[in-house]
Amino acid sequence: MADTTLNELLSCSDFLYIQKKINEPNIFHILSNTGYEIRHSNFIAWLLDAKESHCCGTLFSAELVAKLAAVNNPKAEWEVLREKHNIDLILTSPEETVVIENKTYSKDAPNQLKKYRELIINDPKYKRASFVYLNLKGEAPKDFQERQFWKLCSYSEVIFTLKKLCEEKKDEIDKNHSKTRVLVEDYINAVEIKHLKSGAINEKAKNLIAKEPNLFTSIFSESKTTSGLSHSQIKSLNFIKDNSNFQRGKGFFRKGGLFREAFEKALQKNNFKFDENQNTTYLSFASENMLKKIPREELPFRFGFRFFEKRRVLHFGAGIGPENDQNSHIRIKVVNNLDQIQRAFGKNAVKARGVQHIGLFTKNIPFNPLAIDETELEHQIEKLITNSVTPDVLFIEDKMQKIMLK
């Protein structure tokens, strides 16, 4: 697919497959239910309750409970409690209890898990309690003290179990109720496609991007590119975008985002201290070397990144921040020597000077996020920092320290 045009992309087999699959009816997509944690808990509770309208008795609960928790009798007919004591799911049998805290994109709040666990173990009606922390990736709770008490389980494990049941017990499920398997398979597809991004359609989207990252960057960056396309084609392109590493400039460094975390780790490894803030457009940082000599609150000088998607460049810059009571004595020295700094930085010097924020050094680093393999992301960002940023930082620091510390 080298040098593929938009028209060629729209007619290729992988794109047509995505276009077909993304438009197949799915009750969870129609209701936009998979983005809400409570909806997942409701559906899982429905499957675990042997008395519910799926009419399959313990067929689902026997397998799911065995996957979720280490219990003596997963085939018990569990009573399922929703939001009892504000806990997502409590399963009880005459001999055992399973407590499930379900998280999709949120994390446990301070003392939340301890509160739930102590409430259950101190109530005699709950027998032999097991505690399960269920989330998309099977990640450990934020509460370090509680990690030893909660078994981890991922949505991938739940979905694998449901897929296996739908394949091996297809006839039995269909015999019990004709709609049940359709609903379960809709749920499987919705979670795989939207959250786990592990379905066949997701893989085709990722493969298309890997083959033509520059074409997709152009498509995602310029809305006019999709003018004249059908609703179905635009919907398919948006799906491909959702499966990519692409983020528009204003959201590129969002907290919890793929790239912010990778840049923060790479900066730390290269002896930089990044600023903890909620800005999603810029990532600001300073060097540990400089902070040892000038306290953070007194340092008027910062480095920073911003990503420009249309030009496919990562803007690296250095500049002076606004004056305050702590940094004024150092900032004045720097401002009084701007001409000297500009001569030292040569072609990378910022020509247009601000008043509050004064740019000093600027450099554009070629950067296309779609060309980066997510499995190699941290390594490639670390390489970028080491090769394209650190040498300039050392040069800039040398010049600035001679002014700030004189």
pLDDT for the residue 166: 96
> 366 CB contacts (<8 Å, ≥6 apart)?
312, 313, 314
Distances (CA, A) of 251 to 35, 154, 213, 255: 19, 27, 19, 9
Kindly state the average pLDDT of the residues 313-317. 95
pLDDT digits (tens, 9 = 90+) for 15-38: 999 999 999 999 888 887 777 888
Provide the token pair at 126: 């709950």
Confirm if 112 and 103 have CB atoms less than 8 A apart.
no
Domain boundaries, the chain: 33-177, 249-404
Checking if the pLDDT of 345 tops 90, the result is yes
pLDDT for the residue 121: 97
Kindly state the average pLDDT of the residues 285-307. 89
pLDDT digits (tens, 9 = 90+) for 53-95: 999 999 999 999 999 999 999 999 999 999 999 999 999 999 9
- Give the whole-angstrom CA distance, residue 403 versus residue 406: 6
Instruction: Count the Cβ atoms, other than its own, within 10 Å of residue 125.
Output: 7
In CATH, what is the architecture of 33-177?
3-Layer(aba) Sandwich (3.40)
What's the gap between Cα 111 and its chain centre?
24
The single-letter DSSP state of residue 140 is P
pLDDT for the residue 256: 73
Confirm if 392 and 304 have CB atoms less than 8 A apart.
no
- Chain mean pLDDT for the chain: 91
